[in-house]
């Protein structure tokens, strides 16, 4: 379904063909929000990034298009994610600690993925994640939604929920959001 089709369906169902209740840019914003919600809720827009670790290197830049990180694997083995509180608890030495070995843990800080312990050999590092969808704009209404076809109707429902919220119809909003 194209962006223009979603806008048209939302307007038809909401009874606002003349754009008196909401604008096209408003609907496009709702569509963008709905695409993100669908991607997160259904693990859509999957991507994999891989690189090699460096011997003695603990920090690695993460892709800038990560919406939700699923797994990190070092040499094919899934690593455990640590919260910053856990890092402080289990690795009380400085954040730049030098303990080397086969990593079992990772944490993320300031756009870097840090492996613990620090890798002592070159191996493959793989990240599986949900990527940030492209932002749709009213400048190109002929673009396809970046989700599988089976989710296009859900985007229409998401937009209709936003219309209901705008109308303070919480019951209809809740029904459309389910």
Q: What is the pTM (predicted TM-score) of this model? A: 0.86
pLDDT of 97 reads: 55
Using 50, 70 and 90 to split pLDDT, how confident is the model at 176?
Answer: confident
Letter string b/e over residues 132-155, b meaning 16 or more CB atoms within 10 A of that residue's CB:
bbeebeeeebeeebbbeeebbebb
> pLDDT tens digits for 11-40?
999 999 999 999 999 999 999 999 999 999
pLDDT of 95 reads: 52
> pLDDT tens digits for 123-152?
999 999 999 999 999 889 999 999 999 999
pLDDT of 6 reads: 96
pLDDT of 91 reads: 78
């Amino acid at each position: 379904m194209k962006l223009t089709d979603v806008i048209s369906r939302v307007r038809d169902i909401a009874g606002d063909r003349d754009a008196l209740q909401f604008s096209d840019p408003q609907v496009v914003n709702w569509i963008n929000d709905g695409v993100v919600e669908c991607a997160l809720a259904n693990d859509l827009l999957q991507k994999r990034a891989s690189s090699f670790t460096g011997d003695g290197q603990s920090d690695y830049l993460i892709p800038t298009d990560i919406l939700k990180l699923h797994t990190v694997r070092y040499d094919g083995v899934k690593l455990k994610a640590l919260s910053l509180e856990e890092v402080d608890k289990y690795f009380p030495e400085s954040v730049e600690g030098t303990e080397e070995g086969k990593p079992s843990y990772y944490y993320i800080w300031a756009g870097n993925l840090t492996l613990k312990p620090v890798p002592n050999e070159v191996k493959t590092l793989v990240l599986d994640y949900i990527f940030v969808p492209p932002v749709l704009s009213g400048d190109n209404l002929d673009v396809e939604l970046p989700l599988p076809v089976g989710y296009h109707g859900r985007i229409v429902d998401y937009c209709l929920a936003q219309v209901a919220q705008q109308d303070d119809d919480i019951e209809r909003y809740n029904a459309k959001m389910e």
